[in-house]
Structure 1
């Protein structure tokens, strides 16, 4: 049934497609770039369709190549995971998770001890970055927790948390604000306009449309810096109900105009289809589901 499959060429193709480079695939497979090129050309000849566009410094998948990669990567991942489960002496469970610095610092890490208490055999490595990772290209990352309203048709997705935005400040500052004009703490997001629109929406809902125009402002690069500034009493911060939850529970922050909030986006946990069955990933996904329920 499978005797005619060019397995070496398919393995070479998967590596080159994932890394977008014949040279990088050669290094991963411990062969020469010429050998990689020869295997790819042989596979293209066998199929009768081009799989890559050859560009000056890299390669890019054609539509046919993308279709083959989507099927092949998941199949090889399933085989790899099954082999790992069958080994008598399996390597210790490792999980590499990518998420934003703010979500890691303000929501995940304070709770991660509970995951380790349930699964001391699994080591979680956090890759914190605001840069989007292509999970189909970077096999070193098991899963991501991503913020946004987008749809992810090519990934296994688990809805994690929906949020709302409110305004918060140090309890003493909120209690004594009265008619004084507050300092507004803002965040210079990668898309700063989204945060500005959030403030505008909150001010409109609160009937304080003039606030953004007349109030002094302090700006920070990251949400967790902005929350620390608010905790220190420097002003009021517009913050996600998710990311502010630990500070509220510990009494470090208090809501200002608690009856006013505006809709935000949400956080989703994503992985390449099939990877959700890998034991460390499944354990982490199951724990997240319980943690947010």
Structure 2
């Protein structure tokens, strides 16, 4: 006898939330209904799926195996439904990082709206290769080193690195006169150490085998950390023009470095046949 989809959906929600009450809120049913579905599923399968831990629940080994399968299965179904809905209403889903979305894309949205009123643009957080939801995105705007990108990559923006910090941080650290002075100062990193490594190389400074300091994915978090005097960061021109103009951070040197990183446009193969996806790609490239 095949387990009911309703029971499996209740189990999946409970597995994701670690709580029958939270699962009930997700499904807009009562916690009693969730518990009833899961108890019936356990009876049908002849295994325990959860261990009760007070108000919370924890998956058993059998529960983890089933949760892995339901997460994949319902994820595929949800992605397919969203894709069909977007196709029906000419929606295009764009994956982009938060700083690009806020500092570059948002100021241009009114132009897109005026010229493409029939297309509904959905901007979602950036995804990395292999992420489960990557197939549910039509256009990916990725941030990476220019040297690492394929020769046929469609470049949207080139970014030049500059060392920035708050005025208070610079005052407390004493005079910073040479690029090598930054080696001993607290540094914050975005995604990996390449931003700082490329900057030091461009400035002719030999670096140790490993740089230290916390790594953040979101450049907005780094900018806040710099503004609050927590360390020196690499800022990317032209995305930080407003931060510099408002003196939230300042440039430590007047360096002029050839762009090392950039944003690149990649249209997923599933979206290339749709005219609205091609229109969004063309619009993005026209803004560069």
Whole-Å separation in 1 of the counterparts to 2:140 and 2:161: 25
Give 2:73's match in structure 1, choosing from 71, 74, 77: 71
Equivalent residue number for residue 115 of structure 1: 112
Instruction: State how far apart, in whole Å, the 1-side matches of 2:177 and 2:196 are.
Output: 16
Contact 2:97–2:141, Cα closer than 8 Å, also in 1: no
Alignment of 1:281-292 (within 5 A): 287=280, 291-292=284-285
After TM superposition, give the deviation of residue 285 of structure 1 in Å.
9.1
Q: What 5-or-longer segments of structure 1 have no aligned partner?
A: 127-142, 170-179, 211-219, 229-235, 248-252
**Displacement of 1:223 after TM fit?**
5.3
Residues 29-85 of structure 1, C-alpha deviations (whole Å, 9 max, x = no match): 343312211201222333445544544534456022111221123225535775898
Match of 2:257 in 1: 258
Aligned-CA RMSD value: 5.4
Q: Is the 8 A contact 1:97 1:144 kept in 2?
A: yes
- Secondary structure class of the residue paired with 1:243: coil
The answer as to 2:64 corresponding to 1:62 is: yes
Correspondences of 1:162-241 after superposition (within 5 Å):
162-164=143-145, 166-168=160-162, 181=177, 192-193=188-189, 198-209=195-206, 222=221, 238-240=234-236
Are the aligned partners of 1:160 and 1:292 in contact in 2 as well (CA < 8 Å)?
no
Structure 2-normalised TM-score? Answer: 0.51
Could you tell me how far 1:227 is from its partner in structure 2?
10
Measured against aligned partners, the alpha-carbon deviations of 1:198-219 in whole angstroms (never above 9, x if no partner) come to 3354223321459xxxxxxxxx
Partners of 1:85 and 1:237 lie apart in 2 by 41
Task: Give the conservation status (yes or no) of the 8 Å contact 2:95–2:126.
Answer: yes
Query: In the superposition, relative to structure 1, how do residues 21 and 114 fare at CA in structure 2: closer, same or farther (>3 Å)?
Result: farther
Which residue of structure 1 aligns with residue 149 of structure 2? none
- Partners in 1 of 2:197 and 2:86 — Cα distance? 52
Alignment of 1:128-139 (within 5 A): none
| Pairing 1:19-30 to 2, within 5 Å after superposition | 19-30=17-28
- In the comparison of the two structures, how many residue pairs are matched? 222
Cα separation, partners in 2 of 1:50 and 1:156, compared to 1, 3 Å: farther
Residue of structure 1 in register with 2:167 after alignment = none
The question of 1:106 aligning with 2:96 is answered no
What's 2:133 paired with? 155
| TM-score normalized with structure 1 length | 0.51
C-alpha contact 2:93 2:121 (8 A) present in aligned 1: yes
CA 1:289 to 1:46, structure 2 compared with 1: closer, same or farther past 3 Å?
Answer: farther
